Structure 1
Amino acid sequence: MAPPSHRRRAPRPDRRGALRRRVPLRLLLPLLVLVALAAMLMLRGYVHSEILADHRVQAPAPTTEVPKEILEGGPVIDARNGKATTLSVPDRRLVLTFDDGPDPTWTPKVLDVLKKHDAHAVFFVTGTMASRYPDLVQRMVDEGHELGLHTFNHPDLSLQSKKRIDWELSQNQLALTGAAGIRTSLFRPPYSSFSDAMDNESWPVTEYIGSRGYLTVVNNTDSEDWKRPGVDEIIRRATPENGKGAIVLMHDSGGDRSQTVTALDTFLPDLKKKGYEFDNLTEALDAPSAHSPVTGPELWKGKAWIFLVQASERITDVLVVGLAVIGTLVIARFVLMLLLSGAHARRVRRTDFRWGPPVTEPVTVLVPAYNEAKCIENTVNSLMASDHPIEVLVIDDGSTDGTARIVEAMGLPNVRVVRQLNAGKPAALNRGLANARHDIVVMMDGDTVFEPSTVRELVQPFGDPRVGAVAGNAKVGNKDSLIGAWQHIEYVMGFNLDRRMYDILRCMPTIPGAVGAFRKSALEPIGGMSDDTLAEDTDVTMALHRAGWRVVYAENARAWTEAPETVQQLWSQRYRWSYGTMQAIWKHRRALVDKGPSGRFGRVGLPFVSLFMIVAPLLAPLIDVFLLYGLVFGPTQQTILAWLGVLAIQAVCAAYAFRLDKERMTHLISLPLQQILYRQLMYVVLLQSWITALTGGRLRWQKLRRTGVVGAPVNGAVPGGQVYNDDRRPVA
Structure 2
Amino acid sequence: MAVVWLLVLLENRKKMKTTNVPKILPLVSIIIPAYNEEDTIKESIESALNIDYPKNLLDIILINDCSTDNTKKIGESFLERGLIRMVNNNKNMGKAYSLNRTIDMAKGDLIACLDADSLVSPDALKKMISVLENPKIGAVTPAFKVRKTNNILEKLQFAEYSLNVFLRKIMGAMDSIHVTPGVFSLYRKSILKEVGGFEVGNLTEDMDMALKIHTAGYSIDSTTDAICYTYCPSKLKPLFKQRIRWYRGTIKNSIKHKHMFFNRKYGNIGLFFMPFNFISIIAVIILLASWGIYYFLNFSKLIWQLSLVNWSFDAIFQYFALEKLLFMFIYNLPVLPIMGLIIGSYTLYKSFNITGEKISDHKPGYFIYLLVFPLFLTLFWSAALIYEIAGVKNRWY
- After TM superposition, the score normalised by the length of structure 2 is 0.84
Structure having the larger proportion of residues in helix: 2
| Contact kept? 2:17, 2:224, Cα under 8 Å | no
Alignment equivalent of 1:500, drawn from 164, 169, 172: 169
Q: CA deviation at 1:648?
A: 3.2
Shift of 1:607: 1.8
Can you list the C-alpha shifts for 1:558-584, whole angstroms capped at 9, x where unaligned?
Answer: 111000000011001110000001111
**Aligned 8 A contact 1:509 1:605 in 2:** no
Q: How far 1:679 moved relative to its partner?
A: 3.1
**Contact 1:469–1:519 (8 Å) recurs in 2:** yes
Q: Which has the larger radius of gyration?
A: 1
**Residue equivalent to 1:480:** 150
Contact 2:174 2:268 in 1 (8 A): no
Change beyond 3 A, Cα 1:629–1:342: farther
1:665 aligns with 2:334: no
- Following TM superposition, by how much is the alpha carbon of 1:636 offset from its aligned partner in structure 2, in angstroms? 3.5
Pick aligned residue for 2:138 from 468, 472, 484? 468
Alpha-carbon distance, 1:693 to partner = 2.0
State the aligned residue count: 364
What CA distance in whole angstroms lies between the structure 2 residues aligned with 1:693 and 1:582? 8
- Choose between structure 1 and 2 for higher RCO, CA contacts under 8 A separated by at least 6 residues: 2
Residue 243 of structure 2 is matched in structure 1 by 574
Q: Paired residue for 2:320?
A: none
In the alignment, the residues of structure 2 paired with residue 615 and residue 348 of structure 1 have an alpha-carbon distance, to the nearest angstrom, of 31
1:402 to 2:70 alignment? yes
Shift of 1:616: 4.7
Distance 1:393 1:679 in 2: 38
**1:636 aligns to 2:320 (yes or no):** no
**What is residue 433 of structure 1 aligned with on the other side?**
103
**Once structures 1 and 2 are overlaid, which stretch shifts more, 599-608 or 569-578?**
599-608
- Whether 1:369 aligns to 2:34 is yes
Q: Measure the CA separation in 2 of the matches of 1:474 and 1:394.
A: 21
For 1:636, give the aligned amino acid: F
Give the C-alpha shift of residue 627 in structure 1: 8.8
- For residues 654 and 480 of structure 1, what CA distance do their matches in structure 2 show? 21
Structure-1 separation of matches of 2:289 and 2:363: 23
CA distance in 1, matches of 2:35, 2:331: 52
What's 2:312 paired with?
none
8 Å CA contact 2:16–2:169 kept in 1: the answer is no
The CA distance in 2 between the partners of 1:361 and 1:469, in whole Å, is 15
CA distance in 1, matches of 2:23, 2:12: 20
Q: Distance in 1 between matches of 2:137 and 2:155?
A: 33
Query: Post-superposition shift, 1:593?
Result: 6.8
What corresponds to 2:292 in structure 1?
Answer: 625
Amino acid at match of 1:651: S
Shift of 1:644: 5.1
Kept in 1: contact 2:140–2:222 (CA 8 A):
yes
| Structure 1 position 558 matched with structure 2 position 210 | no
Given that residues 44 and 119 in structure 2 are in contact (C-alpha distance below 8 angstroms), is that contact kept between their aligned partners in structure 1?
yes
State the 1:536 CA deviation: 0.3
- The 8 Å contact of residues 17 and 225 in structure 2, kept in 1 or not, is answered as no
1:271-304 Cα offsets, whole Å, 9 max, x none, are xxxxxxxxxxxxxxxxxxxxxxxxxxxxxxxxxx
Amino acid of the residue matched to residue 374 of structure 2?
A: R
In the alignment, what sits opposite 2:203? 534
| Structure 2: distance between partners of 1:620 and 1:516 | 35
What amino acid sits opposite 2:269 in the alignment? F
Cα–Cα, structure 1 residues 665 and 600, in superposed 2: closer, same or farther, change >3 Å? closer
Report how far residue 359 of structure 1 moved: 5.3
Q: Is the CA contact (8 Å cut-off) linking 1:344 and 1:503 kept in structure 2?
A: no
Q: How far apart are 1:520 and its partner, in Å?
A: 1.1
2:29–2:111 contact (8 Å) kept in structure 1: yes
Q: Per-residue deviation at 1:334?
A: 1.8
Distance 2:226 2:297 in 1: 45
Using the TM superposition, give the Cα deviation of residue 514 of structure 1 relative to its aligned residue in structure 2, in angstroms.
1.4
Q: 1:460 to 1:615 in 2, by over 3 A?
A: farther
Task: Write the letter of the residue equivalent to 1:369.
Answer: A
Is residue 442–residue 517 contact of structure 1 (8 Å, CA) maintained in 2? yes
- SS of alignment partner, residue 484 of structure 1: helix
Q: From the superposition, tell whether residues 391 and 623 of structure 1 become closer, same or farther in structure 2 (CA, over 3 Å).
A: farther
> How far, CA to CA, are the matches of 1:662 and 1:514 in structure 2?
19
Structure 1 residue 694 corresponds to structure 2 residue 362: no
CA shift at 1:404, angstroms? 1.7
- How far residue 626 of structure 1 moved from its aligned partner, in angstroms, is 7.4
Contact 1:472 1:511 in 2 (8 A): no
Cα separation, 1, equivalents of 2:176 and 2:26: 27
CA distance in structure 2 between the aligned counterparts of 1:538 and 1:617, rounded to whole angstroms: 22
SS at 2:182 equivalent: coil
Kept in 2, the 8 Å contact 1:630–1:636? The answer is no
3-state DSSP class of the match of 2:132?
A: helix
Asked if residue 547 in structure 1 is aligned to residue 216 in structure 2, the reply is: yes
- Indicate the percent of aligned positions where both proteins have the same amino acid: 24
Q: Give 1:638 shift.
A: 5.3
Deviation (angstroms), 1:436: 0.7
Whether the 8 Å CA contact 2:175–2:267 is kept in 1: the answer is: no
Note the C-alpha offset of 1:504: 1.3
2:282 is aligned to: 615
Q: 1:626 to 1:654 in 2, by over 3 A?
A: farther
Contact 1:404 1:417 in 2 (8 A): no
- Look up the equivalent residue of 2:356 and give its one-letter code: K
CA 1:542–1:641 in 2, change beyond 3 Å: closer, same or farther? Answer: closer
2:380 alignment partner in structure 1:
685
Residues 1:442 and 2:112 aligned together: yes
Q: What residue number does 2:346 align with?
A: 652
Relative distance call for 1:423 and 1:335 in structure 2 (3 A) is same
- The answer to whether the 8 Å contact 2:262/2:275 transfers is no
Is 2:74 the partner of 1:380?
Answer: no
The corresponding residue for 1:95 is: none
TM-score by length of 1: 0.47
Q: How does 1:415-434 map to 2 (within 5 A)?
A: 415-420=84-89, 421-434=91-104
Mapped to 1, the partners of 2:284 and 2:118 lie a distance apart of 27
- Would the aligned equivalents of 1:373 and 1:406 in 2 still touch at CA under 8 Å? yes
* Alpha-carbon separation, structure 1, partners of 2:356 and 2:12: 15
Deviation string 1:73-117 (CA, Å, 9 cap, x unpaired) is: xxxxxxxxxxxxxxxxxxxxxxxxxxxxxxxxxxxxxxxxxxxxx
Distance 2:49 2:290 in 1: 47
Summarize the alignment of residues 282-321 of structure 1 with structure 2, pairs less than 5 Å apart.
Answer: none
1:617/1:683 contact within 8 Å kept: yes
RMSD: 2.6
Per-residue displacement from partner, 1:470-489 (whole Å, max 9, x unpaired)?
Answer: 11112111123100110011
